[in-house]
Structures are given as structure tokens and as C-alpha cells.
A and B are shown apart, each in its own frame.
Chain A
């Protein structure tokens, strides 16, 4: 079949999202829209202390509050064998409610159940907890000294959680020593938070059959069901998890949180449904944070700018529990992609993780497990190397890119990159933004003392976890699944093991099915998030939906087509071997006039199937053979006010290559959203803790989200290099803009400041940090 002659089909069609009318009219159905008869409300008592012994908990005043029905504490849960919760990658456990001591500020200490939300909050306020403060460990470097052991419950009496490494340390050390040029930089990717607009929440109910009906904001409902069985001992068939519409997840809604377990316990104990909805502060201070990697990056190169070696050593701050939710064989996630788009002859990366008195997490915030940290490190370091070599940062990248003919490319850090043409994507971006013109403009401005910067990031991601031989969470292999049923009149539905939180699956899954079966995507309904109906899947995060579940959808559709072919042969009165699928129809080979559509076949599958099994449906569990490797070139142009330090992003271009595009509108939307998050991370967001362990960014006045007023205009473009191993060649795109953009922004700022001798500023690059760096540079110049 010639691709050229194929008529335009649903795949690649800029179809408006089917879900949007519902959301735009305020008809989404979110967790807080669920209200059950007799429902109680839960509020949590949280610790103001980052590290303290709990001497006593007095619930008597709380029980006097009208409407309060019960209070549970860690001791109650411990007595019931529910004191601890396993974290997702299985290396650690987390207190559900504090037992003996608290380990971070805002840790869950007690759960209060009441007739109204207000009474629950008043009840939580009335619980008296007597704390004896303990010394606080607020950073991984203090933790490393082991002067204060935070987790005496663990066998190993150390704050060190794990050491992970990949690559060849000795070869890298030798190559660095032999390199004529070397740079070394400590790069901190600050602690930030996904901050979805809808915080986490749940409603737990034991129905008349004693079955747990659990409505929850989960990105991975099936994993929740299994995890609930593991924690509570309730048989998995007695648990029904439903994720309704979700108002943003970004990795934050992957872990199982203590509040969920408490709600289930409350529902069981009190025999009534229990609702728990987090406040914004609870979401920012206790649920999965992201990043917090302190990375020492060293690159060796020849004098001409050919990179020779990469060494990255990282101290990771995991907070009070190791709840990073990474695949079990990858404690540092996919950090091995830190060699990026460049062909290093030698490379070594290592991560040492530590407990601190901070909220637990380290989740994959719009990133495939630590890929954003890795990408930022290498893209920032390449700019520093360019500065050291007095070389154009673009030319340095071009010189060291993995070349098109090297794919599949085995990186020194353990990945096999599937496909790419980095030079083409870079050239597309340079041409589209007018790089040479910008360079001339910059030279003119610099001559006048004005600060203009051009920042480039040519990142490579690794997404689509993942092949079962390497990837699992809690032992569950990271396949995904799809079930398709076609109705007699040619419409149908697809159910998948994923769960959209804004990714547009209701549209894109329908387009894949429609493409494979020649049906109208408007009449393919997509259902996700209900564990009673959807096939088992690992969920939506780490850009795995399209690479894994999208592949499952395509393969399930092909199974439907296989069966349909038998019925088509019957209808066409031809042998099955003489029937082919061409131009979205079954036709007798060589006789295009003799054809039937899938709609014809669907009707026959229920009315005239001959000896074939009735019905038209299939299920597919897809185990990917490899990860996919989307990439891109992002260019930011900034102007900086020398007097105030204000950075203005004048222009931003994202050229992405995510393989085959299912729906360009959805891709565009994903890129806009991710760039806006990357912009916020680069310039305004940080979850800061003071040395006493106080969280200083507990609400949206202190943890900033950009509005349309601050957000720059985004220009986008694409190149298309399909993944050779994915059924439709798609790679995934949702996370690329968050992964690739922070380095482009910061590189642009540093490029603007480089005439002053400034080489690095840690994110967020706030106005005051830039102002201070300029003043210090000027002071250095005066004193030299």
C-alpha cells in the first residue's frame, strides 16, 4: 500500500477536542462534584513542626465540636495494621498518620470526620498535640553528615537512601583528565511543585455489598486499586476505583496519599461515605513535590569543541520518605538521559539521595522521571562549555550532536535512542527564528551596553515507560492496554488503562481507532478511569500514554480489523487471503470496486456473520519494546533591564519532533501548557524551606502561577521523525516543553549577562537575583 495514495484520514487531523465543550461549559464532573447521601467530611490535623516527638494527642476538645463524629490518630491506624503505606517504587514506606514523631512540616497527624466540612476543620483545629521539637535537617548536605538520623524506623541508621550510578566512571575520569578544556558547575534544579489547579481529593464509600467505591483524583486508578489491597487487605475484587474528570495532574496525582487511606478507614469505621478535598496549602506542602536535585556537572572537550567526557554527580533531596514514585529498577528515574543529544565518548552519572525534614516526593512533574533535571543540567552545561571555549553555543551543539545515521544510538548511559535528526530540527529552528539576524542585533545592542540574550536548548527526552523487562511499579510491569468494541451501526468505544487529566485522550484515542478502522472519530467514545470497565493499565504520567496506551489502542484496532477481515471476506464472497485493507475499506485484491466498509462489516458482525464468532471487539495489552525519544530545539530571546534586573522574554520558538502527530491541535495545546510551566519554573517558582524547616511557599501568593499577563507568546514548529518501533510512529509530546524550556530561558538570561562575566544563576531566575548578579559583576569590575 502506498502511503502517498492514501486519502487524508483521522490521524493527523486537527480535530477540535471532543471533551472541550463539556469543560468549557462548566460541565466537567470533578471529585468535589461527587456528593453521596449521608456523606461525612474529613479534615487532617497537620504538624507545624518539621521534626518533633509527639508526646501526646488529646482529641477530647475536638469531639465536643458539634458535628464531629470521630478522630483517628497514627496509633489507631497502627493498631489496625494500617500505620504505614508502601511508597510506589517499593524501597520505602510512609506513615499514614504520624507515629511517635513528625518528620516534616504539615505532616498528617490525625484525621477528623464530621457532618460538614466546616465542623471537620474546626475539629482538626481543636485537636491538641503536644510536640517536643527535635533538631531539623533541611538540606541533603546536612543530612549527609548523619549527625541527626531522621528515620530510626529503618534498618540502616543513616539518612542516605540510595546510591545509583550508570556509565563508566574510570573511563570518564581518564577522559576528563586528558581533555584540554574542562568545565565544572554546580547546578541546582530547585524544589518545585506541579500545583494542579484542582488539588487532590477522594470520596470513599462501602456500598450495600460491602464493596469499596473509591472516587479519587488518580492518574493511575488501577495501580491505586492494587495498592489499596496491599495496604488494607481488602480483596481487589471488592474495590472499585473511579477517577472522574481531573483538573490537572502533572505527576502530582500519581502517589497514594495518607488522606486517601484515612478516608477509607473513616468510611469503614463509621459506615458512611467520607469525602476529603485538600486545601491549596495542603497540596503545596504535603503532596508530591518535584526536582530538588543538586547536580555537579563536569564536561571535558577538545580545544576545538568536541566533547570527550561527561561526569554528573547529584545529591537528591527526597524529603522525609522516599516517595519518588519511580519505576523500581530506576531509583533516579531516567536521569541516565543526562548525556542529552550529544555523542560523548565517555560518560558517568551518579545520584545519592537523602532524607530531610521536608515533604516527601520527587515525582515526575510533567517529565518522564528526572528527565527535566537531566535535560536542564546538560543544556546549561553545554552553554557554560561554549562560554569557556568562546564558541557559539549553537555551533558547539551542532558539532556534538548524535548524527542521523547513528540511530538507533546506544548512549554511554544505557539508553538506545530510537530515531532522530537533530541537525534538521536545529536548522529548522534557526531559520524560522532568524538566528543570524538576532546575532547581529545582539552585537549592536552589546556595543551600546544593552543586555540581550539568545538561549538555545536542544534537548532529548526519554519517555514511554516502559518495556516489562526493565520497568515496573510495585512489581506491576509498565505495559498498558486498550479494549475496543464496535457497535452494529459502526460506532463504538475504546477503553484504556490510562487516565486523561487534560491530555485529550477522548479525542486522540478516537482518532487512532478511526484511522485504523476507517470510522468516524466523532462516533468513537473513549472511556478511562473506571477500574470495573477499563482494562488494567499503569496510568497516565511520564509521557507514557501515547507511547504505550496509544500503541495498545492501535494494536487493539488492528485485532478488530483482523476479525473484521473474516467477515468482510464472507460479505465479499472471497477467500480471506484475497481480501485487503486499503483506503479505509476492505476490498478484493485488484478489484477496488468490490469493497465493503468497516461500517458494513460491523453490521454484519451482529446480523450476518456466517460461521464467524459474533460481535466485533478486541483487547490488547501492549508491552513496548523500547522507550521513545522525542526531542526538540527551543530558542528564547530575552531583554534585561540593567537597572532593575527585569527579564522580558521577547520571543520564544519551540520546534518539536515527537514522531507521528495524532492531532496537531492537541500537540500545540500540550506545548503551550508545558512552555508556560517551564517559564514559571525558570522565573518564579520554588518551594523554599528555611533552615528551621519551615515551608515558605504555602499558597498562590508565595508560589506563583503565571497568568496570561506574564506568559510570553509561544511560536511553534515541527519536524517529524517517526519512532521505528511504535505502531503508528508516535513518540509523545506532553512533557517535552516542560523538559526542554527551562534551559532555553536560563541560557538566554545568562547569554545576556555574559558580557558582565556572569556564567550561571540558579533557578528561579527572579528579578532580584538578576539585579544582584549585575550589581556584583559591576562591583567586581570596579575593584579589578
Chain B
């Protein structure tokens, strides 16, 4: 099942702070919703264990995250793959860090995910709603971390 999302988030921090944040694998890893464990492998790779609950699929998913920053474009690309309990999720996402000029930053992002296995069988509407909720929570986590 293919899922596609995009959006813009206004962050109350300047662009340099946001840019530093999105390149930090530890911080990115900690921004995943319901994250249980984060293991930084190197400057661009992090493993994360997240608690997942989509319909009857409940348990820990192990995700591998690879960050690809493009400083010239102030863009960060991210590849996430992993799964658990017979399910697999492959996701790619990219975000442009745009200076809004008033000390705030616009994070313009888009991403797509492919879900396979029991998590895909849960059904489009449930999965879609759940994915949107997780995305919102991820950005809430980012905002919270940047404001502290």
C-alpha cells in the first residue's frame, strides 16, 4: 500500500538552528513518535525502535534511518526502512529548510511510504489516518525539542 504525504511546518526557531537539528541523527531519531530506543551508528545513520499500534498490529518496529543532507540546497533527505511482526515499511522523505525571515523557519516536506504485510492489510483509511497522526506527532516532537 502506497501512502503519499506533504506539508509545511512553521518552526519557532531560526533556519540555522533547524538546519543543525535535522542533520543530527540522534535528534531526528528522538523525534519519531513513540520511540523506545535510538542507536546512532554514525553521522548519517541511526537505528530506532518504535512502538506501533495500527489496528490489530501492535508491537515494536525496528527502523533503519539514513540521512542525506544537501547543505547547498538546505535540504535533508531521509530513507527509513524496517518493520516488525511480519510487516515492513519503506519510507522516503525530504524537507527543505526555508528561512521565513522573521526568526522562524518553514519546513517544507514531502514523503511517501510503502507498507507491506499485516500493517498494509489493516486497510487504507485506518492506515492513512494513523500515518497522518504520526506525522503530526513527529512535527510536534520537533517543535518541542527546538523550543527547549
Complex Cα distance, B116 from A695, in Å, reads 9
Q: Which listed residue, B84, B85, B90, B116, touches A694 by the CB 8 Å rule?
A: B116
CB distance from A517 to the nearest CB of B (A): 55
Contact B116 A697 (CB under 8 A): no
A contact residues around B33 at 8 Å (CB):
none
- The closest CB in chain A to the CB of B85 belongs to A125
Q: A457 contacts the other chain (Cβ, under 8 Å)?
A: no
Q: Is the CB of A694 within 8 A of B88?
A: no
User: Would you give the 0/1 interface string for B75-111, flagging 1 where the beta carbon is closer than 8 Å to chain A?
Assistant: 0000000011111101000000000000000000000
Interface members, chain A 430-475 (any B CB < 8 Å): none
Our pick among B1, B2, B86, B115 for the contact of A46 (Cβ within 8 Å) is B86
Is residue A541 within 8 Å, beta carbon to beta carbon, of the partner chain?
Answer: no
A358 to chain B, nearest CB (A): 14
On whether A692 and B121 interact (CB within 8 A), knowing A48-B88, A133-B90, the answer reads: no
**Residue interface bits A679-699, CB-to-B below 8 A is 1, else 0:** 000000000001011111111
B120 in contact with A690 (CB, 8 Å): yes
Chain A, residues 692-723, CB within 8 Å of chain B (1/0): the string is 11111111011000000000000000000000
Kindly report which residue of chain A lies nearest to residue B87, judged by CB atoms.
Answer: A48
**Which of A131, A696, A698, A701 is close to B88, meaning CB atoms less than 8 Å apart?**
A131
Q: Is B69's beta carbon under 8 Å from chain A? A: no
Q: How large is the interface on B (under 10, 10 to 19, 20 to 34, 35 or more residues)?
A: 10 to 19
B-contact 0/1 string along A128-156, CB 8 Å cutoff? 00010100000000000000000000000
Cβ contact of B83, chosen from A48, A50, A105, A696, cutoff 8 A: A48
In the complex, what residue of chain A is closest to B89 when comparing beta carbons? A48
Chain B residues, CB < 8 A from A696: 120-121, 123
Q: Which residues of B contact A699 (CB under 8 A)?
A: 56
A347 to B86: give the CA distance in the assembly, Å. 47
**B-chain residues with CB within 8 Å of residue A215 when the two chains form the complex:** none
Count of chain A residues with a beta carbon within 8 Å of a chain B beta carbon: 21
Q: Is the CB of A50 within 8 A of B116?
A: yes
Contact: B121 with A49, CB < 8 Å?
A: no
A49 touches B88 (CB 8 A): yes
A106 located at the interface, meaning its Cβ lies under 8 Å from any Cβ of chain B in the complex: yes
A645 CB to closest chain B CB (Å) equals: 20
- Bound together, the chains give a CA A694 to CA B121 distance in angstroms of 7
- Docked-complex contact A690 and B86, CB < 8 angstroms: no
* A694 near B120: Cβ-Cβ < 8 Å: yes
Q: Which residues of B contact A131 (CB under 8 A)?
A: 88
User: Inside 8 A of A697's CB, which chain B residues have their CB?
Assistant: 121
Q: Given A50-B116, A698-B118, are A692 and B87 also a contact pair (CB < 8 Å)? A: no
A692 touches B90 (CB 8 A): no
Which of A48, A125, A281, A701 sits near B116, CB closer than 8 Å?
A: A48
Q: How far apart sit A699 and B116, CA to CA, in the bound complex (Å)? A: 16
- Name the distance in Å between B111's Cβ and chain A's nearest Cβ: 17
The residues of A that contact B56 with a CB separation of less than 8 Å are: 699, 701
User: When the two chains form their complex, are residues B121 and A702 in contact, meaning their CB atoms are under 8 A apart?
Assistant: yes
| A690 in complex: contacting residue of B1, B85, B87, B88, CB < 8 Å | B1
Flag B108-144 by CB within 8 Å of A: 1 or 0 each: 0000001111101101000000000000000000000
Contacts of A702 in B (CB 8 A): 121
- Interface mask (A12-42 → B, CB under 8 Å = 1, otherwise 0): 0000000000000000000000000000000
Min CB gap A382→B, angstroms? 37
Chain B residues closer than 8 Å to A692, beta-carbon distance: 1-2, 114, 116, 120
Take A281-B118, A694-B121, A698-B118 as given contacts and tell me if A48 and B1 are in contact as well, using a CB distance cutoff of 8 Å: no
**Residues of chain A with a CB closer than 8 A to B87's CB:** 48
Interface residues of A in 269-302 (CB under 8 A from B): 281
Which residues of A sit under 8 angstroms from B84, Cβ to Cβ?
125
Residues of B contacting A106 with CB < 8 Å?
86, 117
Within 8 Å CB of B83, what residues of A?
48
Shortest distance from the beta carbon of A623 to any chain B beta carbon, whole Å: 46
In the complex, the chain B residue whose C-beta lies closest to that of A279 is B86
* Whole-angstrom CA separation of A153 from B39 in the bound complex: 40
Cβ of A228 to closest chain B Cβ, rounded Å: 28
Is the Cβ of A49 less than 8 Å from the Cβ of B118?
Answer: no
Smallest Cβ distance from B32 to chain A, in angstroms?
Answer: 19
Q: How far is the CA of A746 from the CA of B88 in the complex (A)?
A: 38
Rounded to whole angstroms, the CA-CA distance of A381 and B120 in the bound complex is 36
Complex Cα distance, B56 from A5, in Å, reads 65
Q: Chain A residues near B121: list those with CB within 8 A.
A: 694-698, 702
* A698, B88: Cα distance in complex, Å: 15
Contacts of A46 in B (CB 8 A): 86
Please tell me which one of the listed residues B1, B85, B116, B123 contacts residue A49 in the complex, with CB atoms under 8 A apart: B116
- State in angstroms the CA–CA spacing of A447 and B74 once bound together: 72
Q: Bound complex: CA of A308 vs CA of B96, how far in Å? A: 69
Which chain A positions have C-beta within 8 A of B85? 125
Contacts of A695 in B (CB 8 A): 121
- Cβ–Cβ contact A694 & B86, under 8 A: no
A697 to B83, CA, bound (A): 20
Contacts of A48 in B (CB 8 A): 83, 86-88, 116-117
Q: Mark A90-113, 1 if CB is under 8 A from B, else 0.
A: 000000000000000110000000
| Interface flags, A378-413, vs B, CB<8A=1, else 0 | 000000000000000000000000000000000000
**Complex formed: what's the CA distance from A693 to B120 in Å?**
10
The answer for the CA separation of A695 and B115 in the assembled complex, in Å, is: 12
> Which positions 293-320 of chain A face chain B at CB distance < 8 Å?
none
On chain B, the residues within 8 Å of A105 by CB distance are 116-117
CB distance from B115 to the nearest CB of A (A): 8
- Which of chain B's residues has its CB closest to A126's CB? B62
Bound-state CA distance A693–B115 (Å) is 11
User: What residues of A have a CB within 8 angstroms of the CB of B118 in the complex?
Assistant: 281, 698
A125 vs B88: C-alpha distance when bound (angstroms): 12
Report how far A692 CA is from B121 CA in the complex, Å: 11
Which chain A residue shows the least CB distance to B114? A692
Chain B residues whose C-beta falls within 8 Å of the C-beta of A50 in the assembled complex? 116
For the complex formed, measure the closest distance between the CB of A270 and the CB atoms of chain B, giving whole angstroms: 25
Q: A residues within 8 A CB of B2?
A: 692
Chain A residues positioned under 8 Å from B86 (CB to CB): 46, 48, 106, 281
Cα-based distance from A134 to B16 in the complex (angstroms):
39
Query: Closest residue to B90 on the A side, CB-wise?
Result: A133
* Residues of A close to B116: CB separation below 8 A: 48-50, 105, 692-694
In the complex the two chains form, what is the Cα distance from A61 to B2 in whole Å?
30
Interface centre among A48, A50, A131, A692 (most CB of B within 10 A): A48
Residues of B within 8 A of A281 (CB): 86, 118
Q: How far is the CA of A690 from the CA of B122 in the complex (A)?
A: 12
B59 to chain A, nearest CB (A): 8
Q: Write the residues of chain B forming the contact surface with A, with a CB cutoff of 8 angstroms.
A: 1-2, 56, 83-88, 90, 114-118, 120-121, 123
11 additional A-B residue pairs with CB within 8 Å, beyond A106-B86, A125-B84, A692-B114: A46-B86, A48-B116, A50-B116, A105-B116, A133-B90, A690-B120, A692-B2, A694-B117, A695-B121, A696-B120, A699-B56
10 inter-chain pairs at a CB distance below 8 angstroms, sorted by A residue, are A48-B116, A106-B117, A133-B90, A281-B86, A281-B118, A692-B120, A696-B120, A698-B118, A698-B121, A699-B56
- Point out residues on A near B: beta carbons under 8 Å: 46, 48-50, 105-106, 125, 131, 133, 281, 690, 692-699, 701-702
Closest 10 CB pairs of A and B: A48-B117, A48-B88, A694-B120, A48-B116, A696-B121, A698-B121, A48-B87, A48-B86, A49-B116, A694-B116
